[in-house]
Amino acid sequence: MNSVRDTHTRRSSAHIDCVHQRSGPAGKSGERILGFTLPEVLCVLLILSVLVYMALPVFPSWTASRSVGAALAELRAGLNLARRTAINGRCCAFLVLAPGSDRGEDRWSVFKGEAESAAERAVTGWRPLPPRVRFDVTDDAEGRTRTGSVFGYPARCAVPGLDRERVPCLIFDRRGRLAHPDFDARIYIRAGRAAGRGRGFIRIRRATGTAEVYRPREDET
């Protein structure tokens, strides 16, 4: 019985010695210790710092482009809703744009009415653009509007909730065609206050009323 115990003890000691020999650099007691050395940790931190430094300039442009893309998708859905409302309801439909509203945010909404001069009933509530996304109303410091911009040709119509004589809007007739303005119109939007950063636009065909989205590039600044 004692010989069996001695054999088991010797095997256990040999197994522990084997584990100690495979476990890394030796400590003061002669046993091997698991872990990383200080130069290895510093090297990893240096690589991570370089990667973060390289990504920082790209991140604002990427988020701006994503926000503008989301706003363009929402506006296109609103345009399609207005066109369907005009066709199905055999009425006039309005996509009303409210830049710089009293609430401090740019908004839009869809209305319908029997005539082009009055948006009588709301189809949707007022929907704000995503945070830090604005309608791109003017093209330069002199306040000139961009070519084909709907903001340069506001319509004379009454809109519930807006105390304005002229309102920037797109009006669809009973066939779903663009009645106002009388050309292929564009809605420009941008991210931030400075023009040219994360800019995109929607082009609305006058003859068909269909909308085409032009998204900003991911690397645009």
Within a domain: residue 220? Answer: no
pLDDT digit string, tens, across residues 33-92: 567 788 888 888 888 877 776 766 655 566 677 888 889 999 999 999 999 999 999 999
Amino acid at 41: V
The pLDDT-based confidence of 217 (bands split at 50, 70, 90) is low
CA dihedral 60, 64, 70, 76 (to 10 degrees): -170
For 21-35, 83-97, 158-172, 179-193, which range has the lowest pLDDT when averaged over its residues? 21-35
The full length of the chain comes to 221
Query: Could you tell me the two tokens for 76?
Result: 């296109």
Domain with 195, as residue range(s), is 58-214
Q: Residue 68: what pLDDT?
A: 87
The confidence score (pLDDT) of residue 162 equals 82
Residue 185 lies in a domain: yes
Look up residue 111 and give its two tokens.
């209305």
* Cα–Cα distance measured from residue 127 to residue 212, given in angstroms and rounded to the nearest whole number: 20
Residue 218 banded pLDDT, cuts 50, 70, 90? very low
Contact by Cβ (8 Å): 108, 73: no
What pLDDT does residue 193 have?
A: 57
Residue with tokens 């106002």: 180
Top-confidence residue, 173 or 61: 173
Asked whether residue 9 is assigned to any structural domain, the reply reads no
Distance CA 41, CA 101 (A): 53
By the 10 Å C-beta count (0-12 exposed, 13-18 middle, 19+ buried), 163 is classed as exposed
Candidates 74, 111, 73; CA nearest to 95 is 111
Which of 209, 130, 214, 144 is closest to 170 using CA atoms? Answer: 209
What is the domain count for the chain?
Answer: 1
Arithmetic mean of pLDDT over the chain:
77
CATH of the domain at 206: 3.55.40.10
